[in-house]
Amino acid sequence: MVELRHGDVLPAPLTTRAQADGQRLPKSLFIKTYGCQMNVYDSARMAETLTPLGYAATDRPEAADMVILNTCHIREKAAEKLFSELGRLRGLKAERRQDGAEMIIAVAGCVAQAEGAEILRRAPHVDIVLGPQTYHRLPEMVALAARGAGAQLDTEFPVESKFDHLPDASGEAGVTAFLSVQEGCDKFCSFCVVPYTRGAEASRPVAAVLKEAESLVARGAREITLLGQNVNAYHGAGPDGAEWGLARLIGALAGIGDLARIRYTTSHPADMDEALIAAHGEESKLMPFLHLPVQSGSDRILAAMNRKHRAADYLDLIGRLRQARPDLALSTDIIVGFPGESDADFAATLALIEAVGFAAAFCFKYSPRPGTPAAGASDQLPEPVKAERLARVQALLARQGRDFNRSMIGRRLPVLFENPGRREGQLKGRSPYLQPVHAPGPASLIGSIAEVEIDELGVGSLGGRLAAAMPASERPMAAALLAAIASA
Ligand code: SF4
């Protein structure tokens, strides 16, 4: 760990209220999470590391003894937005000091990794900066900051894995849970900062993943989403000494009796191997919804993006996946306005979207990320061109999403209920295709899968009536669904 001192701007020694009182009073922790599910997962694990120090969650930053901003570098102008948020926190911290209390401010995540020293230079009220690979060292950094040891910066890629040093989670898990199995990326897409901020691809051993999954299920999780920047590149050490791919890992996870649903995200088309394609047809606990970023439909742009696949490869892959699982629904990521994107390149993207038919998608205007190869390209597109293309692609994807949701009307879907809905007596859950579904029902169904007759189309959601409670496994329903689709 590198310990930085600020010289003239060294913050005054920090003492939490509890320490000043000489007691271990509960301390409050506010975490603001930006970006992807990986960050949501990381935030939860950071909170767990701080539980032994007496920190409990609060949703009020102004009352927090510690604030963590878990940042995402994918966001446009991520650094500027972070500094503006830190400006607000400086005021809160000053107010607390006037009241005789302290606030430890930590910046974590990918912006911390990329801009660590700059954050401490521009925002000297920040006490801790830590990268995504060093969360397990957070308690030690908090202790040092609280003792007035100066600002703490740790953006190393340590030899030891953070996963081996994080505490085992306890307490109730949500009905749906995330489980990080892989981190980092070796693909170096020319627009992306992840290989620089998260480091090289690394996979957790199979035994560690199974242990965490069993713990999540024992604590109430019915669905687990396996996470990784490049999750289908998973290659963890198996208990048999062999290297396991994601398909084999999913097969082992499916053996956990009370685990009803498995998902995984985010994948790269080039890492979609035959075993994983086959798993979509063979493993009924693996949900028929796949997020598979394509980014562009133009081979010229895909090459400039260093995507390692062509449009035809992607379409061929979709065909094979749908052969394995006919009801597979797909979502994707699209970037419009990449440097040098011509009208013809953009038309190829629209054509690919038409050819696939996505159930959902995230689309973005290209915006340069400092330090990435594409950021220095000379043929950047004017903003109005990017905006116009974004509007067109969004309109097409919105229509496809609506059509997909509309096709559910009149069908029975197995819904995993996660929590109460907004209306009295209503429950909210998810279909196998990840659509939010609302239906009236008793709270006792939360954590269960039940069939819902879909009869209502909301904005990005479905509504319906409860048909019948489902058993723990969705196997019979998945088979029935497939049979219905095959005979349609
Ligand atoms: S595969 Fe994904 S995470 Fe890796 S460099 Fe490309 S966009 Fe970034």
Q: Transcribe 83-146 into DSSP letters.
A: HHHHHHHHHHHHHHHHTT---EEEEEEHHHHHHHHHHHHH-TT--EEE-TT-GGGHHHHHHHHH
pLDDT band at 314, cuts 50/70/90? very high
Among the atoms of ligand 1, which is closest to the Cα of residue 307? 6
Q: How far is the CA of 410 from the centre of ligand 1 (A)?
A: 39
**Residue of 227, 229, 267 to test ligand 1 pocket, by largest number of atoms within 8 Å of CB:** 229
CB atoms < 10 A from the CB of 95, how many? 12
Residues at CB less than 6 angstroms from ligand 1:
185, 187-189, 192, 194-195, 229-230, 268
Q: Is the pLDDT of residue 10 over 50?
A: no
Report pLDDT digits (tens) over 219-235: 999 999 999 999 999 99
Q: How far is the CA of 248 from the centre of ligand 1 (A)?
A: 23
Two tokens, residue 136: 């397990």
DSSP state at residue 36 = S
Report pLDDT digits (tens) over 462-488: 999 998 644 444 444 444 444 444 443
Among the atoms of ligand 1, which is closest to the Cα of residue 193? 8
**Residue of 186, 187, 369 to test ligand 1 pocket, by largest number of atoms within 8 Å of CB:** 187
Q: Are 396 and 354 in contact (CB under 8 A)?
A: yes
Single pTM value for the model: 0.80
Beta bridge partners of 335: 364
Distances (CA, A) of 287 to 42, 46, 435: 24, 29, 12
pLDDT in the model for residue 134: 84
Cα atoms found within 13 Å of the Cα of residue 382, Cβ hemisphere only: 3
Burial (CB count within 10 angstroms: exposed 0-12, middle 13-18, buried 19+), residue 410: exposed
Q: What is the mean pLDDT of the chain?
A: 87
- Percent of the chain exceeding pLDDT 90 equals 66
If one compares 213 and 483, the residue with the highest pLDDT of the two is 213
Task: Using alpha carbons, select from 293, 345, 300 the residue that is nearest to residue 317.
Answer: 293
Cis peptide leading into residue 266 (ω within 30°): yes
Alpha carbon of residue 137 to chain centroid: 22
Q: Which of 121-135, 201-215, 401-415, 423-437 has the weakest average pLDDT? A: 121-135
Two tokens, residue 146: 């609280």
Q: Which of 122-126, 131-135, 214-218, 430-434 has the weakest average pLDDT? A: 131-135
Task: Using alpha carbons, select from 106, 116, 135 the residue that is nearest to residue 32.
Answer: 106
Task: Using alpha carbons, select from 307, 303, 313 the residue that is nearest to residue 333.
Answer: 307
Report pLDDT digits (tens) over 137-195: 898 889 888 877 777 787 776 655 666 666 666 667 889 999 999 988 999 999 998 88
**Cα(436)–Cα(336) distance, integer angstroms:** 28
First CA to last CA distance, the chain? 61
β-strands 426-430, 360-365 pairing: unpaired
Average confidence (pLDDT) over 447-456:
96
Cα atoms found within 13 Å of the Cα of residue 15, Cβ hemisphere only: 10
Q: What is the residue with the minimal CA distance to atom 8 of ligand 1? A: 192
Q: How far is the CA of 361 from the centre of ligand 1 (A)?
A: 16
- Phi, psi values for residue 320, rounded to 5°: -70, -35
Q: How far is the CA of 88 from the centre of ligand 1 (A)?
A: 32
Q: Is the pLDDT of residue 279 over 50?
A: yes
pLDDT in the model for residue 167: 64
Q: How far is the CA of 362 from the centre of ligand 1 (A)?
A: 15
Among the atoms of ligand 1, which is closest to the Cα of residue 185? 4
**Cα(289)–Cα(223) distance, integer angstroms:** 13
Helix (H) or strand (E) holding 244: strand 243-244
pLDDT in the model for residue 73: 81
- Phi, psi values for residue 394, rounded to 5°: -65, -40
Among the atoms of ligand 1, which is closest to the Cα of residue 268? 1
pLDDT in the model for residue 165: 65
pLDDT band at 17, cuts 50/70/90? very low
pLDDT band at 75, cuts 50/70/90? low
Two tokens, residue 143: 């202790």
Q: How far is the CA of 229 from the centre of ligand 1 (A)?
A: 7
Q: Which of 16-25, 137-146, 232-241, 411-420 has the weakest average pLDDT? A: 16-25
pLDDT in the model for residue 16: 38
Q: How far is the CA of 389 from the centre of ligand 1 (A)?
A: 22
Among the atoms of ligand 1, which is closest to the Cα of residue 195? 5
Q: How far is the CA of 277 from the centre of ligand 1 (A)?
A: 21
Q: How far is the CA of 268 from the centre of ligand 1 (A)?
A: 8
Q: What is the residue with the minimal CA distance to atom 1 of ligand 1? A: 187
167: which residues sit within 8 A by CB, 6+ positions away?
48, 49, 51, 52
Q: What is the residue with the minimal CA distance to atom 6 of ligand 1? A: 189
Two tokens, residue 445: 């169904």
The residue assigned the tokens 């069939």 is 451
Average confidence (pLDDT) over 67-94:
88
Q: How far is the CA of 266 from the centre of ligand 1 (A)?
A: 9
**Residue of 183, 190, 230, 271 to test ligand 1 pocket, by largest number of atoms within 8 Å of CB:** 230
Burial (CB count within 10 angstroms: exposed 0-12, middle 13-18, buried 19+), residue 468: exposed
**Cα(60)–Cα(277) distance, integer angstroms:** 45
Q: How far is the CA of 181 from the centre of ligand 1 (A)?
A: 16
**Residue of 186, 192, 197, 301 to test ligand 1 pocket, by largest number of atoms within 8 Å of CB:** 192
β-strands 128-130, 152-154 pairing: parallel
Distances (CA, A) of 456 to 77, 378, 407, 460: 39, 49, 11, 11
